Amino acid sequence: MDSETSVNPLRGIMFKIASVTVFVVMQTAIKLAGDTIPAGQITFYRSAFALIPIFAYLIVIRQLETAFKTANVFGHVKRGLIGICAMACGFYGLVHLPMPDAIAIGYAMPLIAVVFAAVFMGETVRLYRWSAVAVGLFGVVIISWPKLTLLRDGGMASVAGTGALAVLASAALGAAAMLQVRQLVQTEKTATIVLYFSIIATLISLVSLPFGWSGLSTSQLFLLALAGVCGGAAQILLTESYRHADISTIAPFEYSSILFGSAIGYVLFDDLPSIHTLIGTIIVAGAGIFIIFREHQLGLERKAARKASSPISG
């Protein structure tokens, strides 16, 4: 996981698409399990069964023992708390919204991360990225507004409105988790971050047990276990993708999930993306891709500046 990166963009893209596909399978399994299962219970199964592929992978690459070594337990707990809240909100929204809508609203996460980085970490964000964030969030409003408007009508419509708000909350919490991970990677191995998150999320999600978990049928138990295994496997595939290509190369392929999600949503749930979802998704995806390439361009400029200022270059 932390070995020397071999530059192979095509392989990185393949791993990224594979991770996106497996994540969509995870979401599909959760949605098929039904909307009567509490979000905390879903989060427990998602986190607990994710440990199976994670432990297997760490054993294969011989990093299981070293992965437990950490000098920042509090940082991992903080990341776990934020991450589990993000997952719980996201799962609630997923089971109460059409799959394409839930996926599309979730695209707000990298946009919100830019805002949080500027506000909480003091990062310099200039006009181009602020403009892209504003445009992207406008796209999120286009997707969400029909649900939020229906929220005032009560009845079943209120469930859709609450689901949209839950996914937005998940995106904001996910953005906060991204910032926490960026701090952890300065001192912690990727294997350590992934392992501790799954363990902490499993333990914390047990807190929801006294508030009432649903009795699961055999099929529901299988689907939630499948979701957990897929979640862990997808995380490994995502990590592998970053070993072979730059973020700017593979990150745009995240938006392929709307294609997979829409196809599965139509076949299994009779969900078709509305015109609001289609328009909003195009706007959000465009803004997100612009930010990705803008970050890449700034990274190249900073690298060139460091090289120019190096004593050796003179």
pLDDT (0 to 100) of residue 145: 81
What is the reported pLDDT for 154? 52
pLDDT at 247: 64
Q: How far apart are CA 254 and CA 108, in angstroms?
A: 12
- pLDDT at residue 158, as a whole number: 67
Q: Would you say the pTM of this structure is higher than 0.85?
A: no
And the tokens for 127?
Answer: 């006009």
The whole-angstrom separation of Cα 167 and Cα 146 is 14
Residue 289, pLDDT score = 83
pLDDT value of position 55: 94
Residue 298, pLDDT score = 65
d(CA 179, CA 190): 15
Q: What is the pLDDT of residue 302?
A: 65
pLDDT at 314: 46
Cα dihedral 109→197→84→292 (10° resolution) = 0
Within the chain, which residues score under 70 in pLDDT?
Answer: 1-6, 149-158, 246-248, 296, 298-303, 305-314
Q: Supply the pLDDT for residue 12.
A: 82
Phi, psi of 36 (to 5 degrees): -100, -5
Separation of alpha carbons 118 and 216, rounded Å: 44
Task: Specify the amino acid at residue 215.
Answer: G
Provide the pLDDT for residue 216. Answer: 93
Q: How far apart are CA 58 and CA 189, in angstroms?
A: 12
**Residue 240: what pLDDT?**
80
Tens digit of each residue's pLDDT (9 = 90 or more) over 203-255:
999 999 988 899 999 999 999 999 999 999 998 888 788 777 766 677 778 88
